[in-house]
Amino acid sequence: MRLRHVPILALLGYLTTTVAAGILLCEGTLHPARRPPSPADESQAHEIARTRHASLKEVSLQTPDQITLHAWLLAPDHPNAQAVILLHGLSDNRVGMTGYTELLLTHNYAVLQPDARAHGASGGVLATYGLLERNDIQEWFEWLTRNQHPTCIYALGESMGAGQILQALATEPNFCAVVAESPFSNFREIGFDRLGQFFHTGPWLGRTLFRPAIELAFAYGRWKYSVDLRQVSPEGAVAEIKVPVLLIHGREDSNIPVRHSERIAARNPNIVLWEVPKADHCGALSASPKQFETKVIAWFQNHAKP
């Protein structure tokens, strides 16, 4: 092989790898692993409800695009007339939010634990990280309003769920307040992080050598699924919102770096950011349980409607 052919072959190899990587990135992103709640999970949830003096029932709703979403509704025996929607992370299900449920039931909040679309027992084949889920959250808000009549509805989301609730605030502005732990700022930025984490290089690799693969993944999603992941942007969604937002982010977060919450907070001066020392991804409750409980419950109480 002549030396002058080497650059051409290298370029062809790079282009082929870029196309393949872009397609794989898009398919893997839109089709995350699904983990339905098991009978053991349901038994555990009933036991938590019993020990926290609450009832538990399975509830569901159908979205305008004919997707059936499933959730648990836990209602305390002595309710405070307020409700919280809990939103889980990627490839998880409602069970992942159980620790928050226990905390909230202790303070007599009704708790709705949904499975996001394409997760758990809910229908849907595509996860869109807020593009469609923002409307699903609005549907659950309206369901709670019709069926439970709370004086205030709050939300607490972690990771993917945190990004979804921040985007939902532009669609449903009637939440009394929300808490978002470890959210991503926008989908392109978290894409840079994901590629850097895979190669242990930091986000610079995604911003440079693998930037074409990320852009091709976006283009492939628009072409094949009509899903424009460029529009997934919690930081863009919060710029004009009036709903009180408490961001929580561990300073040691190795999954979604704390700079994501700092970018979001910078878009709206009314957003409060609590950076938790020694906390990893969604680990604030474990790292600082008393402070977490105090801050979250105070945030809800301070923004309750009369």
Quick: pLDDT tens for 32-66. Answer: 999 999 999 999 999 999 999 999 999 999 999 99
Name the average pLDDT for the chain.
94
Other C-beta atoms closer than 10 Å to the C-beta of 107 total: 15
Which residue, 32, 224, 216, is CA-closest to 127?
32
d(CA 201, CA 241): 35
Other C-beta atoms closer than 10 Å to the C-beta of 220 total: 20
pLDDT at position 122 over 70: yes
| CATH H-level superfamily of 35-186+232-302 | Alpha/Beta hydrolase fold, catalytic domain (3.40.50.1820)
User: Who contacts 304 (Cβ-Cβ below 8 Å, separation ≥6)?
Assistant: 82, 151, 152, 176
Q: How confident is the model at residue 20 (pLDDT cuts 50, 70, 90)?
A: confident
What are the residue ranges of CATH 3.40.50.1820 in the chain?
35-186+232-302
d(CA 59, CA 65): 18
Q: How confident is the model at residue 305 (pLDDT cuts 50, 70, 90)?
A: confident
Q: How confident is the model at residue 112 (pLDDT cuts 50, 70, 90)?
A: very high
Other C-beta atoms closer than 10 Å to the C-beta of 152 total: 20
